Amino acid sequence: MISSKNFILITAGDPASISTEITIKAIESKKKNNNIKCIVITDPNLVEVNKALLKSNIRIHQINDIVNFTDYKDGCLNIIALKLKNKFNFGKPDIKNFSFIKSSITTATDVYFKSVASAIVTNPINKFMMHEAGFNFEGHTDFLATLSSKKIKPVMMLVTKELKTLPLTIHVPLIKVPKLITKDLICSNIKIAAESLKTFFNIKRPSIIVTGLNPHAGENGDFGNEEINVIKPAIDELKKKLKNICLSGPISADTAFSTTIRSKYDLAVCMYHDQALIPIKTLDFNNGVNVTLGLDFIRTSPDHGTGFDIAGKNLANPESLIAAVNLAYDMCVNKKNAK
């Protein structure tokens, strides 16, 4: 069993959000795995403002060796300094800070590819503000794909201790979902997920279920034909092509997440956003983690947004970020052990 200390890079997120607050809390938390060495790409002044808010005494230490991190200091909040050129107000996203938010992400990936860093954890960003500033991506996932050498569409997976789900479609109106669900989409996502479960989660023979799109998985065509025409043919094709995998479906979503059925599979592939997110957040609202599969680096993030309504009030719960950091470490270790 390979186990070692791993350097994990954490992005700044939106300065007006809860991102810096939960980052400080996560790094100070005893729940964070002791083998993890976190390095945050951010502005030290932004950290100081949040430290004062939290009455934190943690010392900021700036990393200069961004290849081997030989100057990393335990017990400190280690940062790679990035200048925030404009003022910020908690709870009020500002388009002027777009470049800082984006630079934190690109700096994290640049450093990752040139250093001994093992993973990237991204803090929340405000998609509306980013789009207003000219960010032509749906979110983190699509943007990170352009920074990866693997030119494939990445896959989002949500993870808690009790459940893993994968939404085939994400931030799109429900009326568009049926046309977006294709055989190719199902096959490509499941192939990436199956390989990732083996490599990053140490699951030798993944068991994967696929939910139906319609009530009762279509009820033999009475409530819709997508299960008959698209979903089942995709599953049948994958069963012939994929080895060391147990695949079943389409299964009615209203029974797929019961305690008994959950115990029989490792991943539920869902047709749309809420079908995948509702069970995750119902089972473990504070500890859900968003994982991006299909990149050439490990990326996780907390499964929540910017929290502008509670920013600057010392009310933010860091549990999801802690879970994201710990999961990134576990994935690193499993990847090493798989070699």
- Enumerate domains of the chain plus CATH numbers: 1-154+297-339 (3.40.718.10), 162-283 (3.40.718.10)
Q: For the segment 5-64, what is each residue's pLDDT rounded down to a tens digit? A: 699 999 999 999 999 999 999 999 999 999 999 999 999 999 999 999 999 999 999 999
What integer pLDDT is reported at residue 4 of this predicted model? 58
Residue 3 has pLDDT above 60, yes or no: no
Phi and psi at 218, nearest 5°, equal 90, -15
Residue 1 has pLDDT above 70, yes or no: no
Closest CA to 7 of 106, 107, 119: 119
pTM: 0.93
What integer is the mean pLDDT of 72-100? Answer: 93
Residue 146 has pLDDT above 90, yes or no: no
Dist CA 338 CA 330 (whole Å): 12
Are 195 and 232 in contact by the 8 Å Cβ rule? The answer is no
Q: What residues contact residue 244 under an 8 Å CB cut-off, 6+ apart?
A: 198, 204, 205, 206
What are the Cα distances from residue 280, in Å, to 114, 164, 199, 251, 334? Answer: 35, 8, 22, 17, 23
Q: For the segment 204-215, what is each residue's pLDDT rounded down to a tens digit? A: 999 999 999 999
What are the Cα distances from residue 2, in Å, to 74, 205, 331, 335? Answer: 22, 21, 12, 10
> pLDDT band for position 221 (50/70/90)?
confident
> pLDDT band for position 338 (50/70/90)?
confident
